[in-house]
Structure formats: C-alpha cells, structure tokens
Amino acid sequence: MFAVAMQILAGYPQHVFYTAVAAGVYSLLCLWKADKRVLIAAGFAGMYAGASALAAVQLFPGIHVAGESIRSFGLPYEFACKFSFPPENLVTFLSPQFFGNDTTVPYWGRWHPWEMSLFVGVVGFLLAVYGSVYGKRRVRRFSVAMAGLLLLLALGGYTPLFKILHAWIPGFDKFRGSSKFIFEASLFIAMLAGIGLNHMIRHGPVPKRTILAILVAGFIIGCVALSIRYSAMRGNSGWWSNTVSASFVKGESYLSSKHYADPCFVQKAGFFASRSLIISAGTFFLLSFLLFLLRSSRKMVYAVALLAVVEVFVFARTSRFTFSLSSIRSPAIERIISGQTGDYRTLNLKHPDSAMLTGAHDIWGNDSVVLRRYAEFITFTQGYPPDRATQYVRFSRFHHLYKMLRCRFAFIPSGRRIGIIEEKDVMPRVQLIQEYVIIRDRDGILREMADPSFDPRKKVILEADPHPEPVVSTKDGKAKVVDSSTDYLIIEADVPDPAILLITDAYSKGWRAKSLPGSIQKKYHVMPANYILRAIPLSKGHHRIRVEYMPLAFRIGKWVSICAISVYIIVAGWFALSYIGVQGRCQKVSR
C-alpha cells in the first residue's frame, strides 16, 4: 500500500496505470489456483484503495486536471500508437547499442533510445531463459507468461491487440508510449534471472546441451555481426544501407534525414552495430566457458553472477548522456529578455523549455498535460481544427491574438540565426473592461475572436451572464496586481462603475476568488473569458481580491490523506507494539 502511494505521489500517472495493469493481471493469474480467492481479491483492492487514500491530496487534483486537459476525451488512436516498442528493437535484449547510443553514434532507430531498449544484460537474459526452462514451476509461477504478455503490450500499435484495448479498456486511450511496459516486463525478467541463478547455486552443473546451445548462439551472433560489417563496407549498395533507411522511411525516427543519406554515417552505424553484436557474442562465449568450469567447481556460479553485474554497469557507464548547459542557452535571446521589464511572455521555438532557464514566461512549451481550452485556442490560431488539438503544434505564424496572452517576443530559428518578432502592444495582466458579449459555444467564440474587428482590450467574450452586470461608462477604473505566485494573485481595483476584471492568465475550474478585508464586494465568481482567460465581474467601488488555485478536489483530497495517514500510523503502531509484545513473551518462555 505504501509503495503504491509513493508511486502515485511520484507524479507519473502512466506508470501508476501500467503497474496496476501488471499487478492486476498477475493477481488474476494467481487467483486461478488460490484457495482464499475472496480474501486475496479484497487484499488487492484494499491495497490500491488505501494507497489512493494516502495519496489523495495529489491523486484527486490530478484527476481534476486531467479532466480539463487534452487527455480528458481520450487520445486519437493514431496519437496513442506513437512510441510503441518497435519489434526490431527486440535485438536490444542481446545488443543494447545496435541502433547507436547517442554518445558515439547517434541513435538511428525508431522513437527515443531510452524507451526502446530491453537490455537487462546478456548474462541476465540467458539466466532468465535458463530459469524459465529449469526453474521450479511453483517458484517461477506466472513470470514467463507475465513477461511475454507485458512485452506484447509494449509493442502497442504494432499489434492488433492495442486497437482493441484502446477502444474498449479504460485508460489505454489516455496515454501514448506503450513501450513503457518494458519496465514492468523487466521486473519479471529479472525475477526469472534470479530463479535461474538460484537453480545453478542449488543444483550445480548446467547440462552440456545448454552450454552447447549458448556456444552455437554466440557463433550465430558473431556471424551476423561480420555480415553487417561486410555489408556496411559496401556503402549504399549493401543490404545494411536499406535496413538503416527503413527507419527513416517509416517516419518514426527523430534523427535528421541527412544522416540516412550520408554513406559515411551508414557505414559508421554498421560498424557500431557489428561491434555491439561482437561484444554480445563474446559474452556468450565467456559465459559458456564459465558454465563449463562450473561443472568442476560450483564456486564458479559466483563468477557468473559477477559477470552479470559488471556487464550491466559497463553498459550504464557507456550509455551516460551528458551535455553542457551552454548548448541549450542562447545569449542573444537572454540579452533581449534581461533588457526588458514588465509582465510579458515569449514564444521560443528554438528552445521551447528555455523559459525555466532564463526566468521568462512563455505561451507554449513541451508539456504532456495541456489544458484543453488552451490547446484548442493555440491550435486554432495556427489554422488547424481545434478538435485536433494535442500537446504538439506546428507554429507557422505569430497570431495577433497572442497579444491577449501578453506574448511580446517570438524567437524563430532560421538556420543558424534566430528571427525575432516583437509585439509592443501586449495587454496587461489585469484590465477592466465594460463591453461584453455572451457566446456559449467554443466555435462561436473562436470565430468572434478571429474577426479583425474584435479588440480584446475593449470587449470580452463570456459564456454566462455576469453578476453584477457591467455598465458602459466614460470613467476609467484602475486594477493592479500587488502580489503573485504560481497559484495565487492579490489584486486591488478601483471601479467607478460595474465592470469585468479580465485576467490574462489561463482559465481552469480550479481557480476561485476571495474577498479580502477592505473590499466592497463580499463574493466573487471566476468565469472563463475569451475561452481561455479568466474574468471576474466587479461592482462599483474598491476591491481587494485574492485569486487562488484551490480546486475542490484538492481540499477534499487533503482531508482524505490526513485521515488515511492517521489511520495508517495508528494501525502500523498497533502492529509494531503487538510484535514487540510477542517477542518479549517469547524471550521469557525461552528463559
């Protein structure tokens, strides 16, 4: 229960879901031959229910945010298929750097290397196979079936099964990157490897036919390595060139096309893949030698274990990615940002996440959980149907409505140079507006804002009647932010006549407004404005308002977690005291 709660609090819901799938399937398989099935099922359900209660302070708000995000209606099948585990990457069981390692040779396989490798060590893999064959059935239980099933799930969109799961099983339509199932699969593979090693320790010599099979497999791998090297030496006329090009043709590689067209790169990739296979073959030969010695000395089993550990450590050391922070900095952009004042945002298409590094604010970046309203708006401004909104947008223009988002600068890469667009007429963070129009549907709002005559400084689009209702007046009011953080704003406003307070920050249902001492209005209502921003209707007079992100889900989750943790501590303490008492009585009896 505690472990599941920690996994939830880690903030990666995809692995929480995938682990639950693996644990659920494994429990169902175990129930098949269990005697106390109801008790086991209740224990499994209680484990996840208790963990959810312990982590409710994060789980409930997370569910709330997901309901407002691009994931709320499920991902399109084509999008959910992305980052499935490519079948050809099964070779990484034996040759982890077959497709490159991004340190010596750029990774030329499909998707990203860190999610597309099954390597648990050549020795670890062979121990797992040995454990699958010779391990006791009651010990290995369903590990073989679980490893196979999870690998099948990791293949994702490359199998017909994923389409069924995406359409019918809740949760599979919320995530992409089913390749992450290889983590859960690796746990069962590691278990099988442990079973195999344990069998060697307890029963000694490995059958001769097993040693011979390992030798033959190593010889075959070595022959394949030499074949790849020979083909790579022939350049574009060899079959290796076609193999490398296939990754690019499928459109699932992030490596630049110039590499695939470069004969030198193709040859280098072939030599590197060949070397990786040669190392694998050498490991096969070394392991077979150790297993042969095991027939005369059972202590050699520890040499096998040491080889398994050293192999994985060496792989980890050679696969360590490092880079200099200066490589993702842009002095030109930083000079522009540091020389400006004011509460504005940027659009950086060169380094989308650099705002965290430079201390600036941006209107877009790399985020897997984007609010649906905001993603639809950005998608619309780039000329695409808002229904197709995802976390990815191909920017082709700097839309005039971005001034409504306080976007002052856009940095656009052009070769080695960076183009700069500056919009000086950006809106302030808070502004009083008297004119409004009510449009209740998304498409109508977007059409209205796209009209050249629409001026977000003078008119605001609401989705419901404001209370109090604004009054058009010639008198100008004032509004300013006196304090702010990531989840709250303190605003002071002097309003000569009822108006709408427009806040040019993203709207979410979790935002609420509270009256502070000295404010003429006791209750405030945060409502969506211009589809993506926040609006608060204000009455005539002086206002002091705290606008804070405090969703009901968080408030409920906080108290659920407090109660659950209290119960957990009490129960854990009771068990601890009971154990101490039993130990004390046992010591008295032994005397």
Contact (Cβ atoms closer than 8 angstroms) between residue 488 and residue 546: yes
**293 and 362 housed in the same domain:** no
> DSSP of 56-73, one letter per residue?
HHHHHHHHHHHHHBTTTT
In a domain, 423, yes or no: no
In which band, very low, low, confident or very high, does the pLDDT at 58 lie, cut at 50, 70 and 90? very high
In a domain, 288, yes or no: yes
**306 and 353 housed in the same domain:** no
Q: Convert 417-438 to b/e letters by CB count within 10 Å (16 or more is b).
A: ebeeeebeebbbbbbbbbebee
Q: What confidence tens digit (pLDDT) does each residue in 9-57 have?
A: 999 999 999 999 999 999 999 888 788 888 889 989 999 999 999 999 9
In a domain, 437, yes or no: yes
Q: What residues make up the domain containing 450?
A: 430-550
Q: CA distances (Å), 63 to each of 167, 211, 557, in order?
A: 21, 53, 11
Q: What confidence tens digit (pLDDT) does each residue in 348-377 have?
A: 998 888 887 888 899 998 887 899 999 999
Number of domains in the chain: 4
**335 and 393 housed in the same domain:** yes
- Predicted TM-score of the model (pTM): 0.90
Percent of the chain with pLDDT over 70: 99
- Residue at which a domain ends, from 363, 387, 416: 416
**519 and 373 housed in the same domain:** no
In a domain, 425, yes or no: no
Q: Write out the two tokens for 519.
A: 């404010």
What residue type is 362 in one-letter code? D
In a domain, 194, yes or no: yes
**442 and 530 housed in the same domain:** yes
CA distance 466 to 134: 73
Tell me which of 384 and 30 has the higher pLDDT.
384
In a domain, 376, yes or no: yes
Quick one: how far is CA 539 from the chain centroid? 44
**332 and 465 housed in the same domain:** no
**362 and 224 housed in the same domain:** no
User: What's the mean per-residue pLDDT of the chain?
Assistant: 92
Contact (Cβ atoms closer than 8 angstroms) between residue 473 and residue 497: yes
**351 and 467 housed in the same domain:** no
- Residue at which a domain ends, from 388, 416, 444: 416
Q: Residue 513 sits in a domain of what CATH number?
A: 2.60.420
Give the pLDDT score at 451. 95
Q: What confidence tens digit (pLDDT) does each residue in 167-176 have?
A: 999 999 999 9
CA distance 269 to 266: 5
Contact (Cβ atoms closer than 8 angstroms) between residue 502 and residue 466: no
**88 and 157 housed in the same domain:** yes
In a domain, 256, yes or no: yes
- Average pLDDT on 83-109 reads 93
**397 and 441 housed in the same domain:** no
In which band, very low, low, confident or very high, does the pLDDT at 311 lie, cut at 50, 70 and 90? very high
Is 543 exposed, middle or buried (CB count within 10 Å of its CB: 0-12, 13-18, 19+)? buried
- Residue at which a domain ends, from 299, 318, 337: 318
Q: Where are the alpha helices (DSSP H) in 250-371?
A: 257-260, 263-294, 300-318, 331-338, 355-358
**313 and 444 housed in the same domain:** no
Contact (Cβ atoms closer than 8 angstroms) between residue 13 and residue 60: no
Q: What confidence tens digit (pLDDT) does each residue in 396-432 have?
A: 999 999 999 999 999 998 887 888 999 989 999 999 9
In a domain, 482, yes or no: yes
**105 and 232 housed in the same domain:** yes
Contact (Cβ atoms closer than 8 angstroms) between residue 378 and residue 393: yes
The region that residue 111 occupies, defined by phi over 0 for left and psi between -120 and 50 for alpha, beta otherwise, is left
